[in-house]
Chain A
Amino acid sequence: MALILKNEKIGQHIYWIEIEGKFEGNPGQFYMIKAGEYPLLRRPISIFSIDENSISFIYQVVGEGTELISKMIPGQTLDIKGPYGNGFPEVTGKIALVGGGVGIPPLYETSKKLREKEEVSLVDMYLGFSGDMFLKELWEKSCDNFIYNIGGFITDYIDVGKYDVILTCGPDIMMEKLTKACIDKGIKIYVSKESRMGCGIGACLACTCKTKAGNKKVCHDGPVFSGEEVYYGEYKC
């Protein structure tokens, strides 16, 4: 159990929770969190930011589990386990981070880590917000060029040919469109998939994702996959 330092509403159904402790994890990895005995399973939530003495997550209230988490207050404790999953791979050169909806938050830690690296010359951020925009100033500060859109398709604003690698997290339809554009131009793309999970360690097969290399487990083999490896549309997770 870990102590909650803050749990603030920052947008419609969007919350920022900060938890005390020394936590590990790479960008794109996730933790499993729950507020109490019910619901039974923990919610997989991607790392938003790891700081010296705390970890932060930005999450959307979508069901009872996340609603219960949103009602917790600083001073209370939370059940948190992790990190899980593979996270984004090491990349170099000019990077575009493309996020949509609740896929946006993990790109903050990703950007932070990328900008510490000498081999990375550019980090641009393309964010598509579904409702009201949250943390505008923070995004502006955390990349070289910040491009955003509210309620539309962020994919309309990006020329993937300008980059060496695209890292993306968001709705399937967005990641599929980007993957197609990247394949056309020969650009490497990594996508981070979202899925309902059970055990979180690859045993229960609740989060199986169909890929060109056969069935993969989002929790254990992912959540990050090479874009062209994943089936979208009717075969999606």
Chain B
Amino acid sequence: MVNTSVKFCGINFKNPIVAASGTFGFGREYSKIYDLGILGGIASKGLTLHKKEGNEGIRIWETPMGIMNSIGLENPGVRSFIEDELDFMKSLNTNIIINIGGSTEEEYLEAVEYFNELEIDMIELNISCPNVKEGCMAFGLTDSGAGDIVSKVRKVTKHPLVVKLSPNAEDIIRVAQACEYAGADGLSLINTIRALAIDIKKRKPVFQNLYAGLSGPAIKPIALRMVHEVCNNVNIPVMGIGGISNYRDVVEFMMAGAQLVQVGTANLVELDAGRTIIEDLKEYMQVEGLKSLEEIRGII
């Protein structure tokens, strides 16, 4: 038996595969497809202090080997989540990462505080959602904006704090360093890339918000480069995200320096993508004679 476990911010993960926020709900629907207890963890759908209805109009659009989305953080709000969904998530026997977004500083702080007395494994601070008009990604575009919100959240939350970074930032290395300096325990990157689709028949943008977030295999090489750059410039652990669809992608992200990875779009393509990737990763480790994933991490 190979040992796929990874320590991240002091927390033990069974394996490096985490379901990415926004593609997995709160696990309820996927729990009917396979036993989610085999996953390293699940990042919740992005939660905000107050319930959000999400965006009007088209919300999903395909591009060559990619998907654009503009869901707009539709979610039940933190209180309803805690009341109706958290116990279910905890019953799944995997690490629970709570993804928190917000349009103002106060919203972030209040939302994060709700979880202080609750048993969760980690907070993932979403300062990178490109699909809401106010806040969120605006905090993550500059090092000063990111540093400011992270230091404030750091003071409020009792949980390990991971910050989810935007590839749309002016300089993702500087934003990553600012988050580290402000007290982040770890980083996750990348969120979707801001992109545009145009309906030539209607002569209008496809999405009501004009821009939407691009994900999927199309963005993987960019994500991999950014993860590599960030891992080489910070001393906190990193979760790699961006178009990861199979075990080979996972290995690439680990070689680039990531401790964990998140699988997002692939869940929509194959509902049991997480299970397949974990099985294939174990086989890869056996074939390569790896006792631990640490042997290949950051070798590039």
The answer on a CB contact under 8 Å between B53 and A207 is no
A206-B23 CB under 8 A given contacts A38-B64, A40-B66, A201-B32: no
B42 nearest CB across to chain A (Å)? 11
* In the bound complex, CA of A164 to CA of B272 (Å): 43
Q: What bracket does the count of chain B residues touching chain A fall in? A: 20 to 34
The answer to whether A199 has its CB under 8 Å from any CB of chain B is yes
Interface residues of B in 254-286 (CB under 8 A from A): 265, 267-269, 271
Kindly identify which residue among B29, B53, B58, B216 contacts A196, using a CB–CB cutoff of 8 Å.
Answer: B58
Interface residues of B in 41-67 (CB under 8 A from A): 45, 53-54, 56, 58-62, 64-67
The answer to whether A202 has its CB under 8 Å from any CB of chain B is yes
The answer to whether B74 has its CB under 8 Å from any CB of chain A is yes
B230 nearest CB across to chain A (Å)? 26
Nearest CB in chain B to that of A220: its residue: B29
Kindly identify which residue among B33, B54, B268, B271 contacts A40, using a CB–CB cutoff of 8 Å.
Answer: B268
The answer to whether A17 has its CB under 8 Å from any CB of chain B is no
* In the bound complex, CA of A202 to CA of B59 (Å): 14
The answer on a CB contact under 8 Å between A203 and B25 is yes
Proximity string of chain A (173-202) to chain B, C-beta cutoff 8 Å, 1 when within and 0 when not? 000000000000000000000001111111
The answer on a CB contact under 8 Å between A204 and B62 is no
The answer on a CB contact under 8 Å between B67 and A198 is yes
The answer to whether A39 has its CB under 8 Å from any CB of chain B is yes
**Chain B residues positioned under 8 Å from A204 (CB to CB):** 22-23, 25, 60, 69, 71, 268
The answer to whether B247 has its CB under 8 Å from any CB of chain A is no
The answer on a CB contact under 8 Å between A201 and B74 is no
**Chain A residues positioned under 8 Å from B65 (CB to CB):** 38, 40
* In the bound complex, CA of A63 to CA of B197 (Å): 14
Interface residues of A in 190-236 (CB under 8 A from B): 196-208, 210, 215, 220, 234-235
The answer on a CB contact under 8 Å between B59 and A215 is no
The answer on a CB contact under 8 Å between B32 and A198 is no
Give 19 A-B contacts (CB < 8 Å), ordered by A residue. Answer: A40-B65, A40-B216, A40-B217, A40-B268, A41-B60, A41-B67, A196-B58, A196-B59, A197-B60, A198-B23, A198-B67, A202-B25, A203-B25, A203-B28, A203-B30, A204-B25, A206-B59, A206-B60, A206-B69
B interface residues with partner A (beta carbon < 8 Å): 22-25, 28-30, 32-33, 45, 53-54, 56, 58-62, 64-67, 69, 71, 74, 216-217, 265, 267-269, 271
List the 6 shortest-distance A-B pairs measured between CB atoms, nearest first: A206-B60, A203-B25, A203-B29, A201-B29, A39-B62, A198-B268
A interface residues with partner B (beta carbon < 8 Å): 38-41, 63-65, 196-208, 210, 215, 220, 234-235
